[in-house]
Structure 1
Amino acid sequence: MAKLNQIIAVEKGVKAKAQQELTSAHQDVQKPALLTGISRTYQPKDEEGEQLPPESTRVQLQAEDVLRDTATALTRLFDVTATKDWANCTARADITVEGRVLLRDVPVSYLLFLEKQLVDLYTFVRKLPVLDAAESWSQDPSTDWWKTETVRTIRTKKVPRNHVKAEATEKHPAQVEVYYEDIPVGYWTTVKFSGALPARRVNQLTERVERLQQAVKYAREEANGTEIEDERVGDAVFGYLFG
């Protein structure tokens, strides 16, 4: 008996080896020289004629042997992949978060899907808009928005003023400097609104995603530890194809 995680661990290497051997076999059968042999002898017309040695070339590659070797190489890949896929139909585990079973008997393929989705959700949650910490916010029940306390500010207007630097004399006019003075003319009453989230809410959501991510990984490891039967399908496939 093997475990699913053991099959997953060797699958990549088996696939690479099978692909390499299939490529090599394909290249070999495309070389006519390896498949060709010859045997010939020479006999002169009369006894005084030139004697030439016989010539021969052996067949270096037999196509049936290539088929047999290819079937052997691919049978292991077919068996390993079948064992993994058959096991994926039965290997399951519960997703448990904070002592509570969130989902029961989840298959490995769905656990892998969840892992990928939770990576994207984590990025999404981390980028949620947060209320400005410089303001004091409360929830407005009439709109369900967040709002600040009412702030009253003065609106001012610049009014020109004259400053006499030197009084007028018989010989010189008065020296007057113009300056502007801010004079209150009214009041602004301001309330800010926001649809963003409090930082504690974003932190809470982030922690939940992280906890679920850990729970899904744990469940996947548990499911991948399921004991499985080795499947033997390669012999049947290649027995038909090359038999």
Structure 2
Amino acid sequence: MKLNQVIAIEKGTKSRSLQELTEAHHNLQKTTLLAGISRTYRPKDEEGEQLPPESTRVQLRAEEVIATTTESLTKLFDVVASKDWANCVAKADIVVDGTVLLAQVPATYLLFLEKQLVDIYTFIKKLPELDTSEVWTFDASTDCWATEPVQTVKTKKIPRNHVKAQATDKHPAQVEVYYEDVVVGNWRTIKYSGALPARRVNELLNRVEKLQEAVKFAREEANGQEITEQKVGAAFLNYLFH
């Protein structure tokens, strides 16, 4: 038998054993199943009323329940023992691009790595990326990415007077006020960002995907090793219920 076969049946064995143990526990609480009776009637004299005997059979025997429960638990103990004993020796290399990244990694740790890499992939996938509409260069002085400086003008609205009609002896001048945008200065703008270039994020995603694949292959290899079936449940449970 291979380790992956034991792992495949472990869950079902645990579930079935728990169900049988729970059922046995509940049945043993039903005192009526454990009780029996036998009654016969004898009248005082020969002319008295004759009544048929009464009896109730014992439907459940605690020792029999212990025996069947022990049998069920023994299977569970043996399956889990076979898996755990095998996990002590089930190991494989994590190989990426032909290079051994980690050698002889235990199967249990490979499973841990596999789960961790799922979370790490999600983390990398959500890393902020630089706005692709801008051109960015790394600025060592600020330890950030920066755009080229962009010059923009600052304007201010200056009121101007427009004489619509000159003043006369009888009427004052008709003046209309309007505003003119006048350049008063220049802005020099540089944008900074602590985000990452898309190529960097893609590079990290590629690496984590390679690791996920390598760890999965290693786990399959480790779990494919032949195991020695352990028979330890009987000794443990026979001592307990002897």
TM-score, normalised with respect to structure 2: 0.94
Cα offset for 1:168? 4.3
Distance 2:165 2:99 in 1: 88
Number of aligned pairs?
Answer: 242
Residues 143-174 of structure 1: CA deviation (Å, up to 9, x unaligned): 33222112222222111112234444555544
Aligned AA (1:95): I
Aligned to 1:125: 124
Distance 1:98 1:169 in 2: 95
More displaced 10-residue stretch of structure 1: 171-180 or 10-19: 171-180
Aligned AA (1:229): T
Aligned to 1:58: 57
Cα offset for 1:240? 0.7
Aligned to 1:72: 71
Distance 2:224 2:238 in 1: 32
More displaced 10-residue stretch of structure 1: 221-230 or 134-143: 134-143
More displaced 10-residue stretch of structure 1: 72-81 or 140-149: 140-149
Aligned to 1:231: 230
Aligned to 2:220: 221
More displaced 10-residue stretch of structure 1: 168-177 or 52-61: 168-177
Distance 1:55 1:126 in 2: 77
Distance 2:171 2:197 in 1: 68
Aligned to 2:12: 13
What SS class does the counterpart of residue 227 from structure 1 fall into?
coil
1:49 maps to 2:48? yes
Residues 168-187 of structure 1: CA deviation (Å, up to 9, x unaligned): 45555443322211111122
TM-score, normalised with respect to structure 1: 0.93
Q: Indicate the percent of aligned positions where both proteins have the same amino acid.
A: 68
What SS class does the counterpart of residue 155 from structure 2 fall into?
strand
1:141 maps to 2:140? yes
Cα offset for 1:32? 1.2
Residues 101-142 of structure 1: CA deviation (Å, up to 9, x unaligned): 111111111111111211111111112222222221112233
What SS class does the counterpart of residue 88 from structure 2 fall into?
helix
Distance 1:229 1:165 in 2: 108
Aligned to 1:35: 34
Aligned to 2:155: 156
1:186 maps to 2:185? yes
Aligned to 1:3: 2
Distance 2:118 2:195 in 1: 22
Distance 1:114 1:222 in 2: 15
Residues 202-221 of structure 1: CA deviation (Å, up to 9, x unaligned): 11111111111111111111
Residues 59-97 of structure 1: CA deviation (Å, up to 9, x unaligned): 111111000000111111111111111111111111111
More displaced 10-residue stretch of structure 1: 172-181 or 153-162: 172-181
Distance 1:99 1:179 in 2: 76
Aligned AA (1:47): E
Distance 1:227 1:63 in 2: 39
Aligned to 2:107: 108
Aligned AA (1:132): D
Cα offset for 1:230? 0.7
Distance 1:124 1:172 in 2: 78
Distance 1:218 1:165 in 2: 88
Aligned AA (1:118): L
Runs of 5+ in structure 2 lacking a partner?
A: none
Aligned AA (1:204): E
Aligned to 1:177: 176
Runs of 5+ in structure 1 lacking a partner?
A: none
Distance 1:171 1:133 in 2: 67
